[in-house]
Structure formats: C-alpha cells, structure tokens
Structure 1
Amino acid sequence: MTTINAERIKLQTTRSPIWLILVVVAVSMGFSAIQAAALSPYGVLEPARAAMGVSMFGVPVLMILSALSITGEYRTGMIRATFLATPRRAWALTSKAIVMAVVSAVVTAVMVMAAVALATALVSESQRASLSFANAEVWRAVGTMSLYAVLGAVLAIGLGTLLRHTAAVVAVVLLMPFVVEPVLGALPEVGVRVGPWLPFANAYTFTKTPWFQTFSMTWGAVGAACYFAVVAGAVFVLAIAVVTRRDP
C-alpha cells in the first residue's frame, strides 16, 4: 500500500495528468455533441456511438498518460530512486499499473456518462429512450469502456517499460488503432485473416465502438475482451521480465 500511495502522490504532483484529462473531457464532449447534431429526426443514437469519443480518442490519451508515468521516470532518472525504494521491481510496475488503471477507469466512466447525458440534452424527446440511464445499454457502455481503459493502462505501462521513450509509446498507441490496423483490416484477403488478431479491433468490438471493419469476430464481444486482456497482460508480464533482468 505504501508503494501504491507513493505512485498516487507522484501522479498528483505533476501537471500532465490534469491537461491530458482535460483533453479527454473536450474530445468526449465534442464527439458526443457532433453525434447528436448529426442524428436524423427519426434516427436512434446508441450509447456506444454517443460515447465514441471516449473509446476512440479518450482512452488512447489516457494510455499516453499511463505511459508517461514510467517513461517520465526513465527520462529524468527518477526510476533509479523508485527501484531503490522498491527493490522488487515487479511490484513497482504493478503499483503503477494499479494506480493508472483506477484513474483511467474512473475518468472513463465519468466521461461516458457525461457524454450520454450531453447527447440526451441535444436530441429530441422521442429519441431519448435509447440514452436513458434506465437503459441497460448505457451501463454496458460504461462498463466495457472502463474495462478497455483499465486494460489500456496496463498495456501502456508495459509498452513504456519496454520502449522507455515517450515518443515511441505515443507512436505505437496512436498509429496502431488509427493507421496500422485500419490499413491491415481493409486489405483484400489479408484483412479477413489478420483482422481478428488485431488488438484494438478486438477492443472496439467489445465496446461496440464504430470502426471501419471488413471482417467479423468469430469469438464475439466476450472473446474480443478476453483477447485484448491477454495481449495487455502478455506485454505487461514481458515488461516485468525485462526490467528485472536489466539495470534501470
């Protein structure tokens, strides 16, 4: 608990979390307003689409924040003090992952609910039924996107530990879902074979996030969530194995 509390204090004493969380808020609210404004008079706005700004852009930004918590220490040399204070390096990384996962989950849950509430205020009275908090789909969106944020935080900590440089992690986090995976998924014949194994494609499947997808996930939403969890866990375990064998 002392190590976890130390990681919490580190997070609270830097400015980057505040600015990045404000970016998440702005993007989430902006996309929610756009989806509501673009809705036809007889259209139905699903909760996952209303909160697509959270899953498509908000969670990647939170992943960058998670990566900064470890790459920033490598950049400044503070990682040496961290490992001196916590010789069990696996627990030091796990503590970071726990703190960032909790922060990411809370911010994501609040932003999904705020995005749905904003969309509800912008659509007509007859279109608000699908966005009502009495609708189970709203809470499914909150739960799945929060889970996505938790797994994304773990994945980002692992990537940050392996790559050590913020720019490298940012490139991976942004290029994979926005460039690499859409291109691979759209390739004739290749997309059908490779697509189901793309991690962010699976994340978008279990969060029901609209995404350009020309292939189907044979294992469904639950299987997609399990697959993304396995990828995040594997990267994190690899990071622990590497960091315990090399000098900081």
Structure 2
Amino acid sequence: MTLLAVERIKLFTTRSPWWSALAALALTIGFAALMAATSDSDVPMSLAATQFGYNFGVVVIMVMAALAITTEYRFSTIRATFLAVPNRTAALLAKTVVVATLGAVIGTLAAFGSLGIAKLITPDAQLALDSAYSWRAVAGVGLIYFFSAVIAVAVGTFVRHSAGAISLLLIYSQLVEGLVQLIPNIGDDIYKWLPFNVANNFVTGDPDPNNRDAMFGPPVSTAELSPWWSLAYFAGFALILLIASIVTANRRDA
C-alpha cells in the first residue's frame, strides 16, 4: 500500500495526468456531442455512436501512461526509486496499477459523459443501458483504457525514452494494425488476432440494436472471439508485455 501511495503522489504532482484527463474527456465527450448534434431520422443516435471518440481517448491515455515511466528514466529519478525500493518488480507493478487505474477512471468518466451528453442533445434516442451489449459498449471502455495503459507502461519500460515509446505506441495502434490487412492472402487472417482489433471486439462484439452504420461508432472488429474472450485476450497480451518489460528492467542498469 505504501508503494501505491508513493506512486500516486509522484503521478499527481506532475501536470501530465491532469492535462491528459482533460484532453481524453474533451475528445470523447466532444465527439459524442458532435454525433448527437448531427443525427437525424435516417441516421439515428445510438450507443455505438456515443462512443465514437473512445479510440482517440485511448491514444491520450497511452501517452500519459508512457510518460509516467519514461520521464523517470529521463530525469534519472528511477534510480532513486530503485534505491529506495530494491525490489524493482514491486516498484514497477505499483506504478502500473496506479497509472492503469487512473486510465480506467478516465475511460469510465469519458464513456458515461459521452452517453450523458448524447442523451441531453437527443433525449428521444434509444440510449438505455438495458442489455449486455449496451453495458459493454459504455462501461467496457474503462477496461480497455486500463489495459491500454498497462501496455503503454510496459513499452515505456522497454524503450525508456518518451519520444520513442510514444511514437511506437501511436504508430502501431493507429497505423500498423490497419496496414497489416494489406498483406496479400494472409493479411486479414493476421489482423483478426492483433491486440487493438481484438480489444475493439469487446465493445462492438454484438451488433448495435439500433442498426446504425458501423462507420458512426468505434471501429467494428473482425476478431472471431466472443466479446469477453476478446477482453481476456487483450488483457493477456498486456500482462505478457508487462512481465517481459519487468524482467528486462531487472536485468539492466536503471
């Protein structure tokens, strides 16, 4: 508990989590407001549409999470951390838990804030949380943010440089996975198992009952797993990456 408190203090005494939280909330809720304001009888507002901006929020959370670890390496404060806590595994796990929990909180607030603004703008739209799909489409966003933050901390621990870690995270999540589909013959088959595509399946795994076109919500996944197995797959990927990064951190100089 002491380690968690220390990491919480270190995190919240910097500006990045506050600005990141504000940016993530503004992006996701702002897109929801835009979708609601432009909806009409031909393209009605839906739960999927309220979460249109959730992938933009994920990007912000991953940047925040990567900075949480890379700035310690940049300013060499990680050395003081490891001197005070010789058990590097415990120190890195504490940081990961604190950062990922913050990511989950921001994601949950962003998702329900997006739903709330959509209800305010389009009070007659069918936006009730009355099914397994609807709860996953909204509440599930916080879980995706949590594990995305874990991945970002792991990558930051591997790379140790802010620009490099952030570039790697953004290029992979926003570009590489999509480009894999262009590989002849096998591209689509590989894409089905890529982590962020599978993660999207958790929040879009069942068709939106309002039948709004997929382009108006989060990207529809091509993963063949069930929604909850998709979350387990994404969580497993994040955990493996985190374990590998901690092993690496224990074997090299701070």
One fold, TM greater than 0.5?
Answer: yes
Paired residue for 1:123?
A: 122
Alignment partners' CA distance in 2, 1:190 and 1:92: 41
1:35 positional shift: 1.5
1:179 positional shift: 1.1
1:157 positional shift: 1.0
Tell me, yes or no, if the aligned pair for 1:151 and 1:232 is still in contact at 8 Å. Answer: yes
Tell me, yes or no, if the aligned pair for 1:109 and 1:143 is still in contact at 8 Å. Answer: yes
Tell me, yes or no, if the aligned pair for 1:176 and 1:200 is still in contact at 8 Å. Answer: no
Aligned residues: 242
1:228 positional shift: 1.1
Paired residue for 2:196?
A: 200
Alignment partners' CA distance in 2, 1:137 and 1:228: 18
Alignment partners' CA distance in 1, 2:185 and 2:9: 50
Paired residue for 1:78?
A: 77
Alignment partners' CA distance in 1, 2:2 and 2:235: 27
Structure 2 residue runs of 5 or longer lacking an equivalent are: 205-216
Alignment partners' CA distance in 2, 1:133 and 1:115: 13
Paired residue for 1:229?
A: 235
- 2:186 paired with 1:190: yes
Paired residue for 1:112?
A: 111
SS in 1 for 2:39: coil
Paired residue for 1:218?
A: 224
Which amino acid is 2:249 matched to? V
Which amino acid is 1:5 matched to? A
TM-score normalized with structure 1 length? 0.91
Paired residue for 1:94?
A: 93
Q: Deviations over 1:202-238 (max 9, x none)?
A: 111112263276xx32222222212211111111000
1:198 positional shift: 1.0
Q: Deviations over 1:88-132 (max 9, x none)?
A: 00001100011012111111111111101111112252x2x2x13
- 2:47 paired with 1:47: yes
Which of 238, 245, 253 is the matching residue for 1:247? 253
Residues 173, 48 of structure 1: CA spacing in aligned structure 2 closer, same or farther, 3 A cutoff?
A: farther
Q: Deviations over 1:179-219 (max 9, x none)?
A: 11112124452332211121111111112263276xx3222
Alignment partners' CA distance in 1, 2:98 and 2:187: 36
Structure 1 vs Structure 2 CA RMSD: 1.8
- 2:146 paired with 1:146: no
Alignment partners' CA distance in 2, 1:219 and 1:212: 13
1:171 positional shift: 1.2
Residues 119, 188 of structure 1: CA spacing in aligned structure 2 closer, same or farther, 3 A cutoff?
A: farther
Which of 154, 160, 167 is the matching residue for 2:156? 160
1:138 positional shift: 4.1
Paired residue for 1:11?
A: 11
- 2:178 paired with 1:170: no
Alignment partners' CA distance in 1, 2:95 and 2:47: 31
Paired residue for 2:208?
A: none
Structure 1 residue runs of 5 or longer lacking an equivalent are: none
Percent identity among equivalent residues?
36
Structure number with the higher helix fraction is: 1
